[in-house]
Chains A and B, each alone.
Chain A
Amino acid sequence: MRNKGAILAVLLIGVLLMIISSARAGVYLNSAHGNSSYGVQRSAAGPAGYPQGHCAHCHEQHASMGGSEPSPTGGPSDYSLFSTNYVSQSSGVCYNCHIDAGSYQTGGSIFNRSYSYRAGGWTADTVNDVQESFSYTSPDSRHGLDDILTFITGRWGFTADSNPCVACHNPHAVQGDPANSPSTAKTSGTRGYAVSRPSQHSSDSSVWGVWGDGAGEKMSDYAGTYQAPYRFSSTTLYEPDGSTTTDGSNLADFATFCTDCHNNSNIINSTALGRNLYTFNWSNEKHGGGAASDACADIILPYQSGTCGTYALACTDCHEPHGSPNVYLIRKVVNSAVVTIDTLTSTAVGPDGKDNKEWVYLCQKCHDGLISPDGKHPHPDFVPPDVSGCSACACHDCAADYRPCGECHFHGNNLIDGVSYGEQLF
């Protein structure tokens, strides 16, 4: 009996010590980079003598260890980093480790998967590192790092010397999601939080921590309006972690996160598009915080027609954050199925063989009836202020069957050919 008591006491003390130890770990030690088991560990001689997760694997205080600069050489770099902080879309210090081959991380590779892979469960995706994700070229799409840098410079404490990756990721806080499981989709047991809000940027990571881990930072905060999409090829498991949770309580509030930049006031130039991005107020968007007043009888599960009009989507339900083989960063998998949109105006490539209907490949993942037998999508009979109806070719060039969906249905738009429709069209 006495032995049992002693064992119990030892166990309790052990648990207490584990709790205390855990509590002492701060933002950095809880990050993917600071993790003592799978954190940063540069393979070069010099820093190799430091423990995993150590600052010296990324920062060289003097660009000298043991009397010489560790590899990669080239002299000191901004922020005392071991190589140039940011060069271009395809070159920068992050890629020196976040690449599938030739990585400076011990082991020679770091795999990072697409959102469709990690959250959507589409493990057929062969894209496996960040540099690759950012390397898509038109008609595919990628977040433009130069454009990001231009935009953040002078905002929120960022400067022209900042790394555009850092606009979204605090390197001293970022966590793997899934954590340390690069070649599996997320599970409820491997969750982490990868992003930090750019508007909260600070050298103080206790202020600029990860986004999504705390109260008020979840999609479920849009009470009763968020519905998680299905995972790839499933009708029972949901994004982002393959669980049965559907209310967004396991998903960061990406609407708030993304609208730090993409909102109705910030002017963001897109080099790839050759124009400024459309501004939009997410709170008014039908797919955002605004109500969809149109009838929507043909909505697809897990979305419910009876609830149509109240849904608020997360940006990541449709968009990849880094890059995509589709246009406009549209995910390769949306609501359980593959989406392919790599052109918008080609001939006879729509799902019903019609022209200019590629967007249907995306929209039909949630909206049914877009490829109805007559080849017409279920528009209203007429679109105000026209009174003649779509079939009369007032809106559409009948000779070409359709105008591209995106001419009207895009973020922020409520106009048809310059005339107000009376409500948001997206």
Chain B
Amino acid sequence: MVNGRYLNFSLYRIIFIVFLWGFVLPGQGQAVVSSGTCSDCHTIHNSQGGAAVAFKMNASYTGYDTDATPNEMLLVSDCIGCHSSTGSATIVDNVPIVFSTGAFSNPLAGGNFSYVRTDDTYGHNVTGIKAQDGTLGLTPPGGSAMTSQLTCAGEFGCHGDRTSGKTNFSGMNKSHHIDDSGGTTGASTGLSYRFLDGVLGKEDADWEQDNVNTSHNEYKGSTGSSTETVSYLCAQCHNDFHTWEGGPLEVGTASPWLRHPTDVALKNTGEYANYTTYSMTAPVARPNPDAVPSTSQVTPGTDIVMCLSCHRSHGSPYYKAMRWDIKTLGTAVSGCGVCHTSKN
């Protein structure tokens, strides 16, 4: 919840901020919500002084309305309510902002859903942020039609438990309370990279807000059919686009690739061998995110091409949520040129 209006008038928020400065910020970036007061996130009766406490983003995306309808898990809001902002900051009260409804700067690693508000092709059309894609409908490219629009979490989402019947709330049940300071194991949604169930990685403390290659997320990649990679997760909907999910007929298993491969090692020959300095424009995954020799270096032959090498998961200002402007020749060539170093 990053509602300016709410911040101004909520005593709870003031207390929370003071508390945050003292205890939470030193450990920011960890997924766990082990600090603060319960009431930051939960409301027992959705009533305080006779008024509703729960809130949600209003229909015009300009602010937040109180919500008399209580949320599951006694939560004060839903995913969008807590991870959105009408302000410019993208980290507020140690909450990563993934949907900014006003002008903002320094988007986080996953990008920002604000872009999809202006163009369906700029990101994922998540329920509550944008109606289903006008062109694609409910069929993700490279996959089969879904029976419901994409959500943040649950059966039709990316985060949390994706098993049948799970929702934004139930899919994320308890996830924020799990202490993942020991790293991700994939044993639960709370112990998964960014609550992406089963996915491994190393979470950057500021969600790459500073966008520097000395401190960034480390994504698990695999040159086999591992289910622990973020690319594997993408392939749960876009299966034809993933090397090992798409298989020989869709992507191929070696060069010449039929589609651009993911979850394959960056070659250590030819032009690919020249990609040695980690690029925030086109990052690579690692076979072991917890044992990366140097965060600012890339090791061709070892490090791995992934979906997020080219795309932002939430949204970007570019076509198909690309990490760079793919529709301008110069930037398209320089973006692709991070790996294809001589195609400039």
Contacts and interface: CB of A to CB of B under 8 A. Distances in A.
Contacts of B269: 203
A80 B260 CA distance: 7
Contacts of B267: 203
A52 B329 CA distance: 8
A67 B240 contact: no
B309 to A, nearest CB: 11
Interface string B241-281: 10000000011100111111000000101111010000000
B45 interface: no
Given A49-B327, A79-B256, A67 B139 contact: yes
Contacts of B344: 25-29
A34 interface: yes
Contacts of B333: 28-29, 34, 55
A54 B329 contact: yes
Interface stretch (A58-66, A248-256, A337-345, A380-388): A58-66
Interface stretch (B156-164, B182-190, B192-200, B335-343): B335-343
A172 B142 CA distance: 28
A62 B328 contact: no
B256 A62 contact: no
Nearest to B136: A67
Contacts of B327: 49-51, 54
Contact of A204 (B250, B256, B271): B271
B257 A51 contact: no
Interface string A69-83: 000000111111000
Contacts of A206: 271, 341-342
Kindly state the interface size class of chain A when it binds its partner.
35 or more
Interface in B105-147: 121, 135-136, 139, 141-142
Chain A, interface SS category: loop
A85 B252 CA distance: 15
A36 interface: yes
B317 to A, nearest CB: 16
A64 B142 CA distance: 8
B24 interface: no
Contacts of B142: 62, 64
Interface string B315-333: 0000100000011110011
Nearest to A161: B256
Given A27-B344, A67-B135, A205-B271, A51 B258 contact: no
A28 B141 contact: no
A296 to B, nearest CB: 47
B240 A26 contact: no
A62 B241 contact: yes
A60 B250 CA distance: 12
A76 B257 CA distance: 9
A198 B272 CA distance: 20
Given A28-B344, A55-B333, A172-B343, A85 B271 contact: no
A360 to B, nearest CB: 47
A307 interface: no
Interface in A40-55: 49-55
A77 B251 CA distance: 9
Contacts of B250: 76
A55 B271 contact: no
B332 A76 contact: no
A63 B326 CA distance: 16
A64 B238 CA distance: 11
Given A64-B142, A76-B250, A80-B258, A28 B343 contact: yes
Contacts of B141: 62, 64, 67
B257 to A, nearest CB: 6
A207 to B, nearest CB: 8
Contacts of A67: 135-136, 139, 141
B268 to A, nearest CB: 12
Nearest to B337: A26
Contacts of A36: 329
A326 to B, nearest CB: 36
A80 to B, nearest CB: 6
A405 to B, nearest CB: 45
B257 A80 contact: yes
Contacts of B260: 61-62, 80
A25 B334 CA distance: 10
B258 to A, nearest CB: 4
A202 interface: yes
A259 to B, nearest CB: 25
A56 B311 CA distance: 16
A44 to B, nearest CB: 16
Given A202-B270, A204-B271, A204-B341, A66 B258 contact: no
A203 B272 contact: yes
B342 A203 contact: yes
B256 A61 contact: no
A68 to B, nearest CB: 8
A198 to B, nearest CB: 15
A59 to B, nearest CB: 8
A75 B142 CA distance: 11
B258 A55 contact: no
A205 B270 CA distance: 9
A194 to B, nearest CB: 18
A63 B343 contact: no
B270 A204 contact: yes
A55 B343 contact: yes
Contacts of B310: 61
B271 A51 contact: no
A188 B327 CA distance: 34
A23 to B, nearest CB: 11
Contacts of A61: 259-260, 310
Interface string A129-166: 00000000000000000000000000000010100000
A206 B121 CA distance: 34
A55 B332 contact: yes
A61 B141 CA distance: 12
22 contacts: A25-B344, A26-B337, A26-B342, A28-B343, A34-B333, A50-B327, A51-B327, A51-B329, A53-B329, A54-B332, A56-B326, A60-B259, A62-B142, A63-B240, A63-B258, A64-B240, A66-B121, A66-B135, A67-B135, A76-B251, A79-B257, A80-B260
Interface of A: 25-29, 34, 36, 49-56, 60-64, 66-67, 75-80, 85, 159, 161, 172, 202-207
Please provide the 3 A-B residue pairs with the shortest distance between their CB atoms, ordered closest to farther: A26-B344, A203-B270, A76-B258
Given A204-B274, A207-B342, 14 more contacts: A28-B342, A36-B329, A51-B327, A55-B332, A60-B259, A66-B121, A67-B136, A67-B141, A76-B259, A78-B257, A80-B258, A80-B260, A159-B256, A205-B343
